[in-house]
Amino acid sequence: MRDKPILVALDFDNKHSALQLVDKLDPAMCRLKVGKEMFTLFGPELVKDIQHRGFDVFLDLKFHDIPNTVAKAVAAAAELGVWMVNVHASGGFAMMEAARKALLPYGDNAPLLIAVTVLTSMSDDDLKLLGIEVGAAEHVKRLAKLTRDAGLDGVVCSAQEAAMLKDLCGQHFKLITPGIRPEGSEVGDQHRIMTPARALEAGSDYLVIGRPITKAADPLAALTEIHRSIQGL
Ligand SMILES: O=c1ccn([C@@H]2O[C@H](COP(=O)(O)O)[C@@H](O)[C@H]2O)c(=O)[nH]1
């Protein structure tokens, strides 16, 4: 049976507004993602406030540093009891391996450890400007292979790459896909997008959804509608 696939991205500059939304949500329906904005503003206390309300937290801080620093940072995330934590795959094999080893003492209580491949806001042209001469899909493939070889649990990618990565890395390798846009919602700064239902059909395990829910006139109704659209998939 499929695990709860919806991860709501809580990107707010106001803790009260964020917790007002959280209090309307049901932990049986979704998990919550805390990213750079809210963690920088409100720190570990915010994560604890959310956990006390019964939600699993994906700490999306995308660590990218020397291996020793990243290893210490993911261990700190494990101490916080988060459900999932991430690093950037472009930090390299040694960095990802150090992160994985830092979680070994936590055994079954370790968070899932995943790596960001190519941000879903980026296009082939953006990669060219970085001197990367292959397209996004090809670069995602390289970084996903490196992540799998370093022993991590999965990657952040676009749902557009999900089918390819399930073939390449295996069914158990988790695919976490932001850039999810229900039909008719604003694309914003995302580039490689897909609807919730198509993303699950393509092989995504978890859908990261922020603004289509948090900026909706009725966020609970938006989440409920997305939930309905993926029932049975
Ligand atoms: O490649 C990536 C990695 C992370 N994100 C994060 O996901 C959410 C998406 O929010 P939307 O409002 O649904 O666009 C956001 O917190 C990003 O930091 C991503 O979009 N792409």
- Positions marked catalytic: 62
Within 10 Å of residue 40's Cβ, how many Cβ atoms? 9
Beta strands at 206-209 and 57-63: parallel, antiparallel or unpaired: unpaired
Q: Which two tokens stand for residue 164?
A: 């390819």
Strand partners, 116: 88, 156
pLDDT of 82-131, one tens digit each? 999 999 999 999 999 999 999 999 999 999 999 999 999 999 999 999 99
The Cα 231–Cα 92 span in angstroms is 37
pLDDT (0 to 100) of residue 1: 79
Q: Is 35 in the pocket of ligand 1 (CB under 6 A)?
A: yes
Q: Is 122 in the pocket of ligand 1 (CB under 6 A)?
A: no
pLDDT of 25-83, one tens digit each? 999 999 999 999 999 999 999 999 999 999 999 999 999 999 999 999 999 999 999 99
Q: Is 156 in the pocket of ligand 1 (CB under 6 A)?
A: yes
Residue nearest to atom 13 of ligand 1 (CA): 210
Best mutation site among 208, 211, 223 for ligand 1 pocket (most ligand atoms within 8 Å of CB): 208
Angle of helix 136-149 relative to helix 93-102, nearest 10 degrees, comes to 40
pLDDT of 163-196, one tens digit each? 999 999 999 999 999 999 999 999 999 999 999 9
pLDDT of 120-170, one tens digit each? 999 999 999 999 999 999 999 999 999 999 999 999 999 999 999 999 999
CA atoms 50, 54, 55, 56: torsion sign: positive
Name the nearest CA neighbour of 30 among 154, 191, 180: 180
Instruction: Locate the ligand 1 atom nearest the alpha carbon of residue 36 and give its number.
Output: 18
Q: Which ipTM score applies to this complex?
A: 0.99
